[in-house]
Amino acid sequence: MKAFISVDLEGMPYIVIPGHLNLKGPLYEEARRIATKIALITADELNRNGFDRVIIADSHGPMVNLLVDDLPECVEIVRGFPRPLSMVSGIEGCKLAMFLGYHAKFGTAKSTFDHTYSSMSINRVEVNGVAASEFLLNGLVAGELGVPVVLVAGEARLLEDDVRKKAPWAETVALKTSMSRLSARSASMISIEKELRNGVKKAVASQKRGKAELLVAEKPVKMAINFLSSQFADAAELLPSIKRVDGLRVEYTAKSMADAYKTMELLTLASSGMQALMEGMR
């Protein structure tokens, strides 16, 4: 059997400052070790519970964060960006999905690194009128492909505000409880490992009993994106399928959640291009 894991950084334990999150950050190597340990604990427990293949999608920033020197034989890793379906690339054909290191959506109070997909360009993403976190965006793509999300481990506010409301069947593991955008409280790694392994066991058992459900978006999928700057909406509007609503907001309709997701990914890449262009003019 094949399982899928998507790994982000912002919701990982102990990771609390921007220097943890980028390739040149002074604490980036610490963050890599933390995320790798969490991912491999999860993969090992999945393997112990009957999954002989575990696909891990390295899904933060440039998507080359996890250390790959000591990957177990059962693991395959998806790295690099851009790529089809971004944070859930490689999920096709898996029996279940687990999201690790996930965080709350933009604008969530007292939640470390709250943002939605692109902290550089996006304020808000809506799917059929509902404000979406990365958990929901990725979960809806997974559901469309027939893969239930059975466990989410990350920042406590995401679990409380989003996961338990939209996917009550999913096991949740709080890797940290935020005190502000740049501070949080986390248990020891020993305690986290015990809770994570127990969560994986319970999630797999629930899936085998048929208790796990699919997150599915109504079709056609109506998407809306509020950008942080009008220059990003300027670039998005050049795509014929995009409707400009106001200075910051664009809307579009897609025949599937996967197509809606890919268009969002393209718009964030266009925003990155605009940002680079503006920097070059300084």
Q: In what order do the strands lie in the sheet with 183-185?
A: 75-78, 53-58, 2-7, 96-102, 149-155, 171-180, 183-185
pLDDT above 90 (res 279): no
CA–CA dist 253, 226 (Å, integer) = 15
* Sequence-ordered list of residues with C-beta below 8 angstroms from that of 281, at least 6 positions apart, any chain: none
Q: How confident is the model at residue 278 (pLDDT cuts 50, 70, 90)?
A: confident
pLDDT in tens, 48-107: 999 999 999 999 999 999 999 989 999 999 999 999 999 999 999 999 999 999 999 999
Residue type, position 117, single letter: Y
Q: What is the dihedral of CA 119, 163, 9, 198, to 10 degrees?
A: 180
Q: How confident is the model at residue 277 (pLDDT cuts 50, 70, 90)?
A: confident
pLDDT in tens, 105-145: 999 999 999 999 999 999 999 999 999 999 999 999 999 99
The percent of residues in the chain predicted with pLDDT above 90, rounded, is 97
CA–CA dist 255, 164 (Å, integer) = 28
pTM for this predicted structure: 0.97
pLDDT of residue 175: 98
Q: Where do the domains of the chain lie, and which CATH numbers do they carry?
A: 2-104+133-208 (3.40.50.10780)
